[in-house]
A = this chain, B = another copy of it.
Amino acid sequence: MVDRSFEFDVATSVREVSIVDGAHHFEARVHDGWDIAGNANGGYLLALVGRAISAVTSRPDCVTITAHYLAPCPAGPARVVVTPVRSGRRFATVTASLFRVDEDGKMKEVLRALATVGDLATDPGGPSAMQRSMPDISPFDECILMSGTSVNDFAHLHGRLATRGEPADIAFRSGSPSGRAMMRGWFDFADGRSVDSNALLLASDAFPPAVFNLSLPMGWVPTVELTVHVRAVPAPGPVACFFTSRFLQNGLLEEDGEMWDTKGVLVAQSRQLALAPRG
């Protein structure tokens, strides 16, 4: 059951209204305050869609989900449509679309997703052979709260979060980029909600772009595509996040993410393809 007292649960709530030709239609709302300068954060939108996917499949974990972003999305009424593709013992595969609904009822698709979902807590599992452990990051208390600073007052998303940034990686905000395309921090919610599997979809896109630490023009870095692999259910506490971009080439860049829980377990990987700011 959803605890309505947590902002993230309210902002990602969906209500099934019909099934048309096998497609499950949900009423939803893109909520205020999960945006960067008026456009809803891509990770938040993915988490909203993830809620509907879990409702249709009765499986909590997006083992792999890919979203292609089609248009910016301001706050307002929305619709999510989830269409089952295949349902197996271990995994189910679905497609999903998020539409914003204009005042005249016209729908515009803002995100198309493809996901294979499962239940990692009961997954049969298999061998492990980790080639490395969690990268270096300063302890939570030594990282810097991202919200409540005037340098960040367009990133309203951070008002909902208790996310902290590695000091060296967020010094770009005061004009001192590190020179390394890296962004590290701890993801957490401002209202104490625990970081579950669905929240990892938000975490994967909730930090400033790693390329802000290069000496490039600053500006919007629109996501073309975002893939998240949820690899384990997070233990309680904040989630350590590591983002790097290695290849900014001809205006296109990848950003790779790793998310680790407080027990040192890899809980998610992400990769997005994005467009570089043109200044």
Interface residues of A (CB under 8 A from B): 63-64, 66, 68, 70-71, 85-86, 91, 93, 95, 109, 112-114, 116, 120, 123-132, 180-181, 211, 214, 216-217, 224-225, 227, 229, 231-232, 244-252, 254, 265-266, 269, 271, 273, 275-276, 278
Contact indicator B131/A276 (Cβ below 8 Å): no
Q: How far is the CB of A248 from chain B (nearest CB, A)?
A: 4
Q: How far is the CB of A162 from chain B (nearest CB, A)?
A: 27
CA distance A227 to B67 in the complex (A): 11
Given contacts A68-B64, A131-B181, contact A247 B276 (CB under 8 A): no
Having A66-B66, A130-B249, one finds 19 other A-B pairs with CB under 8 Å, namely A63-B224, A68-B93, A68-B114, A70-B93, A91-B224, A93-B112, A112-B114, A125-B251, A126-B252, A127-B217, A128-B249, A129-B248, A132-B246, A225-B227, A225-B229, A229-B252, A231-B249, A231-B252, A247-B266
On chain B, the residues within 8 Å of A247 by CB distance are 130-131, 231, 266, 269
CA distance A205 to B271 in the complex (A): 18
Contact indicator A123/B245 (Cβ below 8 Å): no
Q: How far is the CB of A110 from chain B (nearest CB, A)?
A: 10
On chain B, the residues within 8 Å of A278 by CB distance are 126-127
Q: How far is the CB of A259 from chain B (nearest CB, A)?
A: 11
Contact indicator B66/A116 (Cβ below 8 Å): no
Contact indicator B245/A266 (Cβ below 8 Å): no
Interface centre among A120, A130, A180 (most CB of B within 10 A): A130
